[in-house]
C-alpha cells in the first residue's frame, strides 16, 4: 500500500512539472512577450542617467502641465536669473514703461496706476526741453491740441497744480508728466530736508525745497527721503495732486 502511494504521488508531481514547463514555454512566455511589446520599450531613447533625473521628483501631473504652452528658450528664461523684484514691483515698472511712451499725440489723457501714481499727457509749453525729475506747472489753454500744458513755475495764489517731468520731451511736444504718487524728483537740500517734510517749489524754479513739518498752502509734495546736500539731488517724493500756491521767494 505504501509503495502504491509513492507511485501515485510521484506520477502526479511529474505530470504537474510537465504541465508547468509546457505553459512557460508556450502560453505564459508568449503572454509575457506580448506584454513587453505593448510597453514599446524599444521606442524609449532615454538613457538610464536621463531617466534618473526624475528620481526624487514630487511634482504631480497638474504641476507638470503648468509648463504647457511655454515657448521660451533657455536664453529667454535666463533673463530672469537674479531677479529679486516682486510681482507688484514688476507691474509698476511695466506701467511706467507705458507712461514713458513718446508716441502720445493727445493732451489731457489721464493714466492712473494701481500703486497710486497718476500721469497726464500734456503739451510742453516751457520753451525748451524738459528735464526728467524737475518740477513744472500744469496750465490750460483754449487751443486745440495743446489744451493741457506744461509750464514754467510762476507765482500763483492757490490755483495751480504741479507736475514732475518723466521724459526729456522737446518744446511743443506732447508727453507724459506725473502729477500724483511716488516718484523721483529733484530736491534742494541747502536747508536740510528730513524724511516726511512737506515740499514747495518757488517762482521760476524747478526743484522742490523744504516747506516744513506741517502742510501749508504752498505744499505740493512730501519728501520720503532725507536730503542735506547743498544742491539739488534726485530723491523719492510723494506728489500731492491738489492745487496749491507758488510763492515768489
Sign of CA dihedral 18, 23, 25, 26: positive
**Confidence band (pLDDT; 50, 70, 90) for 6?**
very low
Whether 244 and 218 have beta carbons less than 8 Å apart is answered as yes
Residue 209 CB neighbours (<10 A): 22
Which three cell numbers mark 131?
Answer: 528735464
In the chain, the percentage of residues whose pLDDT exceeds 90 is 46
- pLDDT of residue 201 exceeding 60: yes
**Confidence band (pLDDT; 50, 70, 90) for 3?**
very low
Whole-model pTM above 0.85? no
Which three cell numbers mark 104?
Answer: 502720445
Q: Tell me the average pLDDT of the chain.
A: 81
Q: How many CA atoms lie within 13 A of 196 on its CB side?
A: 2
Average pLDDT estimate for 176-186: 95
Tens digit of each residue's pLDDT (9 = 90 or more) over 144-169: 888 999 999 998 876 789 999 988 99
Whether 181 and 120 have beta carbons less than 8 Å apart is answered as no
Instruction: Give the Cα separation of 247 and 249 in Å (integer).
Output: 6
Cα–Cα separations (whole angstroms), residue 107 to 152, 180, 188, 239: 18, 17, 30, 21
Segments making up each domain of the chain, as ranges:
2-65, 87-246
Diameter of the chain measured on Cα atoms = 135
Phi-psi region of 3 (alpha: psi -120 to 50; beta: other; left: phi over 0): alpha
Instruction: Give the Cα separation of 37 and 102 in Å (integer).
Output: 65
- pLDDT of residue 17 exceeding 60: no
**Confidence band (pLDDT; 50, 70, 90) for 13?**
low
- pLDDT of residue 96 exceeding 80: no
Amino acid at each position: 500500500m505504501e509503495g502504491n502511494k509513492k507511485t501515485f504521488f510521484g506520477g502526479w508531481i511529474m505530470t504537474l512539472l510537465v504541465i508547468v514547463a509546457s505553459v512557460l514555454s508556450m502560453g505564459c512566455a508568449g503572454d509575457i512577450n506580448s506584454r513587453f511589446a505593448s510597453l514599446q520599450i524599444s521606442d524609449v531613447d532615454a538613457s538610464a542617467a536621463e531617466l534618473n533625473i526624475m528620481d526624487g521628483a514630487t511634482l504631480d501631473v497638474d504641476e507638470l502641465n503648468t509648463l504647457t504652452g511655454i515657448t521660451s528658450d533657455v536664453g529667454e528664461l535666463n533673463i530672469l536669473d537674479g531677479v529679486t523684484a516682486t510681482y507688484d514691483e514688476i507691474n509698476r515698472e511695466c506701467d511706467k514703461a507705458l507712461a514713458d511712451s513718446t508716441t502720445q499725440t493727445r493732451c489731457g489723457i489721464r493714466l492712473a496706476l494701481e500703486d497710486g501714481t497718476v500721469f497726464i499727457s500734456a503739451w510742453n509749453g516751457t520753451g525748451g526741453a524738459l528735464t526728467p525729475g524737475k518740477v513744472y506747472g500744469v496750465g490750460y489753454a483754449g487751443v486745440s491740441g495743446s489744451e493741457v500744458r506744461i509750464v514754467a513755475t510762476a507765482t500763483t495764489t492757490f490755483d495751480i497744480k504741479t507736475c514732475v517731468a518723466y521724459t526729456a520731451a522737446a518744446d511743443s511736444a506732447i508727453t507724459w508728466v506725473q502729477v500724483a504718487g511716488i516718484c523721483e524728483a529733484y530736491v534742494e537740500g541747502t536747508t536740510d530736508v528730513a524724511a516726511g517734510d512737506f515740499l514747495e517749489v518757488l517762482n521760476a524754479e524747478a526743484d522742490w525745497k523744504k516747506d516744513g513739518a506741517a502742510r501749508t498752502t504752498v505744499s505740493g509734495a512730501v519728501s520720503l527721503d532725507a536730503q542735506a546736500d547743498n544742491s539739488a539731488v534726485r530723491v523719492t517724493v510723494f506728489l500731492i495732486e491738489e492745487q496749491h500756491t507758488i510763492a515768489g521767494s
